[in-house]
Structure 1
Amino acid sequence: MQKPTTEQHTIVEQLKQIAEGLGETFSPFCEVVVHDLVHAEHAIVAIHNNLSGRVEGEPATVLGLARIADDRYPQVIANYANQFADGRPVKSTSIGIKDSSGRYVAALCLNIDLTLFGALQNVLGRFVSTDAAAGVEESLEPLGADAIRQRIDQFAARLGTIPRALKTEDRRMLMRELKQSGSMEVRRAMEIVALHLGVSRATVYNDAK
């Protein structure tokens, strides 16, 4: 059995810590696996959120063997279609880790079970759908709201920024322009401006003084 160098051992141990953090962050939908490519015959040394049913000590995957055979093999292969042994669809990302000599010594793999997300997508799709056949078009916001937002966008564009990044003096100048254009006569104008700028209505009132 090939004995890993101190550097290779350190890389794998640090990768285990990264995998644990990613596993906790993306639990329970993402399986995170660490492969020790120095020992391909029992490459899996850590597995979090076990979705595939594999265990530590199992051998390297096809990608792992490809990296072992060729140091020029891509380091990052992201978002490729995969599947678990029971046929569940998976979105996978495999990241190869090299040592200072340029040899692959480990890999970090992320496997996301798409089954739940597919069901959730269907539910959300039904929830947000509307009945076009009803033939009714309605807006619950005041007439002129779009015009106010458009004026704000144009004002910010002239300053080379976005509405939510406007500084206090910029907002005061904006309020003067909106008043002069008659935009502030629109019902709930203060609320519309505040929402578009990402500030409170009290801030807008102060800027308008």
Structure 2
Amino acid sequence: MENIKNLLESYIPLAKSTAKMFGPNCEVVIHDLTNPQASVMFTVNHHVTGRKIGQSFDHLVKTVLQSEDFKEDYLAGYTFKTEDNRTIRSSTSLIRDSKKKVIGAFCINFDVEALNQMQQFMDTFLSTKVEVQENETTSNDDLENVEGIVDQLIQQIIQNSVHPVMKRHEKIELIRFMDEKGIFLMKGSVEKVASMLGISKVTVYSYLDEIKHKSNEGETK
């Protein structure tokens, strides 16, 4: 059986050399997606976004997999803001095992705040606009690839958490985690989660409503 840990660790030299080449503003993170709830297994220059070993992924589903430009297992040049309002330019590439199953992600995060001061010169580099070639459409293969990746994440998340005497509040927390990570943005995900948890689709929606209600209560306090 292939050793996933060893395979992912084989990317560490690449992570270190990438960070060394681009300097302290470049953070590289390796995720173990067979452990989605604590996927960060290696990071260098973690001060860029504050990523720490044992944390979970943030942008994989909501930004990367949901992007029309996610093709061939990678998305390059997307941006997001940190909590202190710094702009981070990122690239994410998926890592597959010998059976083509997605087991990890290799992420590069670059703090471009210093470059923002050179806006005129760096317009091309910093542009978040994506040039779409004519007649370029998202193929069925691309959609199936994304759906397959999210299916794997759902299976792994539930496999890591479900036990025979799982209580209601534990199921709610599990669904909260998946909701925060964007799992339910994918069509059909509610049905898949309901089936794997052995509950109805209506129950999943009721848990999501309860989570939203509690979140709104917390914001108004």
**TM-score between the two structures when normalised by the length of structure 2:** 0.47
More RCO (CA 8 Å, sep 6+): 2
**TM-score between the two structures when normalised by the length of structure 1:** 0.50
